[in-house]
C-alpha cells in the first residue's frame, strides 16, 4: 500500500512529518476507506486508553480534580459552591431537601450560562427535562393537580 502512495519525501522537521502523515491519511481514506476506518478506530482506542491512564494518575494525585474541573464550566470554585450551599442552608433551592455538598448540582440558565443556584439531582434533572421552560412546568403542575383532584374525588 505505502509503495503506491505518492506522498513526496519525508522531511526531518515536525511540520514535514505532520504534512506527510496528513497526506498519508488522506490517500488511505480515499483509496482504502475500510482500512482507514480500522486504523483510525485503533488509534482512537490507544488515545482513549492514554487519556484514561492520565486521568487515573491525576485523580490519585488530586481527588478534587474532577469536581474542580466540572465547576470551572460555570465559572465557580469549590469554595464558591460551598458558600452558595451555606446560603441555601445545604438545601435544594426547589424542594428544600437537605443535601450534602457533593450531591448538590449547579443549576444554570442554558441560554445565558448564568448560575441560578444549587439543586438536588432530581430537581435539576426535572428542570432539564422541561428544558427550563416555565410554561411547560406550569402545564405539568396543572396536570398533576387535575389528576390528584380526579383521584381524590372518586
* Residue 4 DSSP symbol: G
Residue 116: phi and psi, rounded to 5, are -100, -35
Q: Does domain 90-153 have CATH number 3.40.1800.10?
A: yes
> pTM to 2 decimals?
0.59
What pLDDT shows up at residue 6? 52
What pLDDT shows up at residue 2? 47
Look at the alpha carbons of 58, 99, 130, 112 in this order and tell me if their dihedral is positive or negative. Answer: negative
**The three cell numbers locating residue 86:** 451555606
Buried/exposed 84-109: b ≥16 CB within 10 Å, e otherwise: bbeebebbbbbeeeebeeeebbbbbe
- Domain residue extents for the chain: 2-61, 90-153
- The candidate with the shortest Cα–Cα distance to 130, out of 120, 122, 140, 121, is 140
pLDDT tens by residue, 16-62: 888 888 898 899 889 999 999 998 888 888 888 888 888 888 888 88
Work out the pLDDT band at 84, boundaries 50, 70, 90.
very high
What pLDDT shows up at residue 91? 97
**The three cell numbers locating residue 79:** 469554595
Amino acid at each position: 500500500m505505502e509503495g503506491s502512495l505518492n506522498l513526496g519525501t519525508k522531511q526531518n522537521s515536525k511540520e514535514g512529518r505532520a504534512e506527510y502523515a496528513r497526506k498519508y491519511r488522506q490517500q488511505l481514506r480515499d483509496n482504502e476507506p475500510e482500512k482507514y476506518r480500522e486504523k483510525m478506530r485503533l488509534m482512537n482506542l490507544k488515545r482513549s486508553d492514554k487519556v484514561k491512564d492520565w486521568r487515573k494518575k491525576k485523580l490519585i494525585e488530586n481527588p478534587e480534580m474532577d469536581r474542580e474541573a466540572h465547576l470551572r464550566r460555570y465559572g465557580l470554585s469549590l469554595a464558591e459552591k460551598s458558600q452558595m450551599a451555606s446560603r441555601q442552608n445545604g438545601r435544594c433551592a426547589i424542594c428544600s431537601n437537605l443535601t450534602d455538598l457533593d450531591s448538590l448540582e449547579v443549576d444554570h440558565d442554558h441560554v445565558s450560562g448564568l448560575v441560578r443556584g444549587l439543586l438536588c439531582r432530581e430537581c435539576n434533572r426535572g428542570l432539564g427535562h422541561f428544558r427550563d421552560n416555565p410554561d411547560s412546568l406550569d402545564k405539568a403542575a396543572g396536570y398533576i393537580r387535575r389528576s390528584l383532584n380526579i383521584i381524590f374525588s372518586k
